[in-house]
Amino acid sequence: MSVHKEIKKITTHVLHAMKNRGEKISMLTAYDYSMAKILDSAGIDILLVGDSASNVIAGHETTLPITLDQMIYHAQSVVRAVDRALVVVDLPFGSYQSNSTKALDSTIRIMKESGAHAVKLEGGSENAESIQRILSAGIPVMGHLGLTPQSIYKFGTYTVRAKEEMEAEKLKKDALLLEELGCFGLVLEKIPSALGKEVSESLSIPTIGIGGGPYCDGQVLVTHDMLGITKDFHPRFLRRYLELFDEIKDAVERYITDVKNQDFPNEKEKY
């Protein structure tokens, strides 16, 4: 199926219609203007300003340290680049868990200061009141269930979630609740494919998988992973489309050699 570039702007309604007609939704992360410009011009449907910026941009081991101010800075850079994609911004750890007022205040800052179109937050029933308040303010919300990286210290490992009956049942209940509350979509991270299928078929809102299997209504990857900018990360769900770490390194090595050998700049490259 080709990319529907004739769709001028992706909205939550467009995503809903895509699910209804069986068109898969494409989503990637973006944190800066230049990359967002490339991804948007390629026709990506959703750009996620993910708190994975904490890992791939800032070099932290987890997503926990990134701040609301830093997320807003990344979101502003992405929004400036985008003509078509829906821009969703992660509420970072600590910006929404304590109470619904804080969750709404953090969301309003993101929307006002960045111009983004929606927010995403991790978890299910524990966020019900916050999600209701954010939605009441007219702001679209995306859920995120399964492996929720902000809870890594509770899980203790990044392995597949909801393999056991009890956790799978809670995930299914949470998914239905998120739809009932009014979320426009749901990320399903690192869960068994059969569960991804069951949840996707039980909901009218689109599910977006990252290690959630092929039956999700769309797929998301961290851009730095799919382009091979990150090097030593090989989860089963990841497909690498380039090996940019090696390609960039090679280009930089050639540049260094040219500078050292006084081969750059040459006659044509000077004023």
Min dist. Cβ of residue 48 to ligand KIV (A): 6
Could you tell me which residues come within 8 angstroms of residue 120 by beta carbon, excluding any fewer than 6 positions away? 48, 88, 89, 90, 91, 141, 142, 143, 144, 187
Strands 218-221 and 25-29, bridge-based pairing: parallel
User: What residues numbered 181-200 form the site for ligand KIV, per CB under 6 A?
Assistant: 187
- Options 12, 52, 130, 150; binder of ligand KIV; rule CB under 6 A: 52
Min dist. Cβ of residue 250 to ligand KIV (A): 27
Give the H/E segment covering residue 35. Answer: helix 33-42
Span near ligand KIV by CB under 6 A; candidates 46-54, 91-99, 160-168, 230-238: 46-54
Binding residue count for ligand KIV, defined by CB under 6 A: 10
User: What residues numbered 213-232 form the site for ligand KIV, per CB under 6 A?
Assistant: 220, 222
187 DSSP β-pair partners: 144, 208
3-state secondary structure of 155: helix
- Options 51, 174, 179, 225; binder of ligand KIV; rule CB under 6 A: 51
**Nearer Cβ to ligand KIV (233/255):** 233
Q: CA–CA separation, 53 vs 229, rounded Å?
A: 13
Q: By Cβ distance, which residue is nearest to ligand KIV?
A: 50
Does 189 participate in catalysis according to the annotation? yes
Q: Site mask, ligand KIV, residues 15-44, x = CB under 6 A?
A: --------------x---------------
Cβ neighbours, 10 Å, residue 197: 17
User: What residues numbered 75-114 form the site for ligand KIV, per CB under 6 A?
Assistant: 90
**Nearer Cβ to ligand KIV (81/218):** 218
User: What residues numbered 118-137 form the site for ligand KIV, per CB under 6 A?
Assistant: none
**Nearer Cβ to ligand KIV (239/268):** 239
- Options 44, 82, 191, 210; binder of ligand KIV; rule CB under 6 A: 210
Residue 270 burial (C-beta neighbours within 10 Å; 0-12, 13-18, 19+): exposed
- Out of 23, 129, 179, 189, pick the active-site residue: 189
Q: CA–CA separation, 200 vs 215, rounded Å?
A: 7
Smallest CA-to-CA distance from 146 within 210, 190, 184, 96 is with: 190
Helix axes 100-114, 68-81, angle to 10 degrees: 40
Strands 207-210 and 118-120, bridge-based pairing: unpaired
Express the helix, strand and coil content of the chain in percent, nearest 5 each: 45, 15, 40
Min dist. Cβ of residue 148 to ligand KIV (A): 8
188 DSSP β-pair partners: 145, 209
- Options 25, 45, 50, 181; binder of ligand KIV; rule CB under 6 A: 50
Residues of this chain that interact with ligand KIV (CB under 6 A) are 29, 48, 50-52, 90, 187, 210, 220, 222
Query: Active-site positions?
Result: 189
